[in-house]
Amino acid sequence: MDILSEFIRVTLGTVIDVLPIAVIIFGFQFFVIRKKPANLNQILLGFFWVLIGLSLFLLGLEWCLFPLGRLMAEQLTDPAFIQAAQVTKDVGEGLNWKDYYWVYIFAFSIGFSTTIAEPSLIAVAIKANEVSGGAIGVWGLRLAVAFGVAIGISLGCYRIVVGDPIHWYIITGYVVVVIQTSFAPKMIVPLAYDSGGVTTSTVTVPLVAALGLGLSETVPGRNPLIDGFGLIAFASLFPIISVMAYAQISEARSRYANRLNSRREKDTRNSRDSA
Amino acid sequence: MRKTIKQLAKSLLGSLRDLLPIVLVILFFQFIVLQQPLPNVGQILTGIVFVVLGLTFFIHGLEQGLFPIGESMAHAFARKGSLFWLMAFAFSLGFGTTVAEPALIAVAAEAADVAAVGQMIEATDEAKSRYANGLRFTVAFAVGLAIVIGVLRILKGWPIQWIIIGGYIIVVVMTMFAPQEIIGIAYDSGGVTTSTITVPLVTALGVGLASSIRGRNPMIDGFGLIALASLTPIIFVMAYGMFI
């Protein structure tokens, strides 16, 4: 059967992927630490689940989501589609950056939704929730990162359309990160930096790369070899900003709530005193 | 056994919920914006079932296998107290997981094409594959080094922001001197190095180390390894583009 051979092919690919990691881990475990981990059977079974899970996941993506997503990226960036949706009807002016609005909306929604499904982000969110004793919610972190990726990718698409050099955007982003770092709650900073790296893996990269290449091929004057890259950099920079912003907002809110509470207490005390 | 099944059923629902946004986005754009029928519905449905099952199994395996081994190794190394072996482990984990990473292999091949078009190297297959392999090993070395620096940071308790901000400054300075063609690829290479299996392992290692060393806070010191692993490749790829 077709699907079975595909499954075997993908599983083999995953095994080749996991093999060096397993060799390093178990090599160090048995030759350097020289102690059997307490729950070896459970761990081996866990590796097996990871292997099967990742293969099924990749197979499903390659089978249904990626072809469809790529097709959509192509259709949405197609000059014919964009001309049909044109808003600025200045004759002879050609296409304006505003005419690509469906591309930005698609970039935003695909960035957001693929990040929510990103397995490595789920892993980091579980760990962060565990370590922070529940102070950082799994969903809070995932939504904050997803918004960051969504904004980053739409801005990256805008950059490809207008043709600005990438480094000005990235350097500005870095400056924002540096400024935020000095004001954000200390606890969130390392996690925020990490969330930049985790967002871009299995699900997001192939779709985003297709979008970038599609755009730079159809926008006049863009070179896919140069302008097609860089979307992933946007997708790894903006979550840092959004996660720190999320922590800053929740800190400010709890400070505001505290102040409100203490004022209310004072009020009731005052009214009690006057009574 | 029943407990496992119950757990799996619960995380199956979770995976369905995780995937729902993608399905909605695709349906919306296909029907409302592009106004086209869905091609081969059967295949898409099968694919979605696979993705949901796969995500469920992966998360299950993560909690059973990847997290525990990462943490138990971190504790074992902390107890053993051998700096050399810890560093050797950190480097091999970074290098070994990156060098075979399919996303990196793809990006390296594309980078070689760009370099050939930009006439930085000869446009022959041999020159291109030499360039791509060199790039791959450069990035893998950069990630290995990043994990070593990151582990050292956890041991010493250095604040992460100085290292990251220092790295950004190096990136900004290098951007001014690096050839135009390499910049986009260099920035992207930071993002592609951290795969789905590496991230949970490295996170568990960092958090495990930080929680088994006295005076370290797992929240403040445990995270940050992935950030470093996404930063050093940018620097090394730009350096590679400048010198080759």
Please, what is the Cα angle at A120 between A114 and A123, to 5 degrees?
120
The whole-number pLDDT of residue B3 equals 76
Contact residues, chain B, for A194 at CB < 8 Å? 203, 223-227
| Interface list for B 64-123 with A (CB within 8 A) | 64-69, 72-73, 76-77, 80, 85, 88-89, 92-93, 96-97, 99-103, 110, 113-114, 117
Q: Six-digit token pair at B120? A: 């930085």
Q: Is the pLDDT of residue A113 over 80?
A: yes
Contact residues, chain B, for A233 at CB < 8 Å? 184, 187-188, 190-191
Using one digit for the tens of pLDDT, what is the confidence trace for A153-185?
Answer: 999 999 988 888 888 898 899 899 999 999 999
Does B19 contact A at CB distance below 8 Å?
yes
The whole-number pLDDT of residue B152 equals 94
The whole-number pLDDT of residue A1 equals 53
The whole-number pLDDT of residue A191 equals 93
**Are B132 and B109 within 8 A, CB to CB?**
yes
Instruction: Mark yes or no for CB contact B33/A102 under 8 Å.
Output: yes
The whole-number pLDDT of residue A88 equals 56
Least confident range from A49-58, A62-71, B13-22, B223-232: namely A62-71
Whole-angstrom Cα distance, residue B167 to residue B176? 15
Whole-angstrom Cα distance, residue A37 to residue A54? 24
Using one digit for the tens of pLDDT, what is the confidence trace for B155-213?
Answer: 998 999 899 999 989 998 998 888 877 887 888 787 777 778 888 889 999 999 999 88
SS3 category, A80: helix
Q: Is the pLDDT of residue A205 over 60?
A: yes
| Interface list for A 195-254 with B (CB within 8 A) | 196-203, 205, 225-233, 235-236
Q: Is the pLDDT of residue B99 over 80?
A: yes
Nearest to B224 by CA among B158, B168, B173: B158
The whole-number pLDDT of residue A260 equals 84
Does B56 contact A at CB distance below 8 Å?
yes
The complex's ipTM works out to: 0.86
Helices vs. strands in chain A: H and E counts, helices first: 12, 0
Instruction: Mark yes or no for CB contact A190/B201 under 8 Å.
Output: no
pTM, rounded to two decimals: 0.86
**Which residue of A25, A116, A187, A213 to mutate against B (max B Cβ within 10 Å)?**
A25
Residue B81 burial (CB < 10 Å; 0-12/13-18/19+)? exposed
Please, what is the Cα angle at A229 between B164 and A93, to 5 degrees?
125
Q: DSSP letter string over A172-191?
A: HHHHHHHHHHHHS-GGGHHH
